[in-house]
Structure 1
Amino acid sequence: MIIKKEIKDDNEFYLYFNGKLIYKRWLDQGYSKVFDHFAWGKYTEKSITDFDLEETPPLYHVECRLTLFSKEEGGRENPIENGYRPNHVFEYDEDGTLKYTFIGDFQFGENNLIEPGTTQNVTARFLTHQPIEQYLNIGQKWWLHEGSRKIGKAEMIKIKLPEKE
């Protein structure tokens, strides 16, 4: 296994796995794109706060109505767990490709699993260091992806901004 990191033009961070580009981050704008979700390894689908961090960064908390597509609709076969972290997509380019992906996870409260083909109210948490503010509106819809595969959708019901220090 070969992992290569590269920074170009003091702005773009590239991560390669066995010679294949799997992740790109625009450092000055704070957003990123995952090209190969499955190459990341066992921690890809878990929340950043699931790791032992000394300090958790501020988060936007968004109550939303989450719908997971069934296998027949092109979604997952297996349920998702509390802390699941897909690619969150709010816009697509004119040709249908993902415009940007945002970092966030889902918290289910008492439930540990959500089955494909179901809809449930949950909390989405987004990191504040990415340019997501323009999309934080009641009624805003977005899509969930695993790599290029669309596996669900969500709609914002309530938004809690982080407290100012």
Structure 2
Amino acid sequence: MLSKTAYNIKAKISLLPTRLGGRQNPVATGYRPALAFNTAQHYSGEIELLDQPQLKPGDSGTVFIRLIPAKHIRKNLKSNDAFTLHEGSKAIGSGIIVSAEIVSSE
């Protein structure tokens, strides 16, 4: 059986401005983008905004991300690792991990 790893991540993210190909609408707690950690493979995560009620295109903020369990995710994500936020194949932002905690790894 393949293992499934899940993370709780605190990160600083920045959304691209709409004029540079980013989203047109703001995001709020519960938003579920795909995340890529220096790989072509994307993983699903749910974002909780920590310092504001919504994050508009072009803005930055601190978030908590619950990374949904995945079979092939790295088991060594750590502070200062970079990632990109995607909607489908379109990159809509980027982030840097502040802290990462593995919450399950079977």
TM-score, normalization: structure 1? 0.55
SS of residue in 1 equivalent to 2:19: helix
CA RMSD of aligned residues (A): 2.5
User: How do residues 13-162 of structure 1 correspond to structure 2 at under 5 angstroms?
Assistant: 59-92=6-39, 99-109=40-50, 111-134=52-75, 136-162=77-103
Identity %: 25
SS of residue in 2 equivalent to 1:72: helix
Larger Rg: 1
* Gapped regions of structure 1 (runs ≥ 5): 1-26, 31-57, 93-98
Deviation of 1:113 (Å): 1.2
Structure 1 runs, 4 residues or longer, greater than 6 Å off:
none
Distance 2:52 2:78 in 1: 26
TM-score, normalization: structure 2? 0.83
* Gapped regions of structure 2 (runs ≥ 5): none
Q: Which has the higher strand share?
A: 2
Q: Which has the higher helix share?
A: 1
How many positions carry a matched residue from both structures? 105
Q: Which structure has the higher relative contact order (CA within 8 Å, separation 6+)?
A: 2
Question: What letter corresponds to residue 78 of structure 1 in structure 2?
Answer: N
Deviation of 1:108 (Å): 1.0
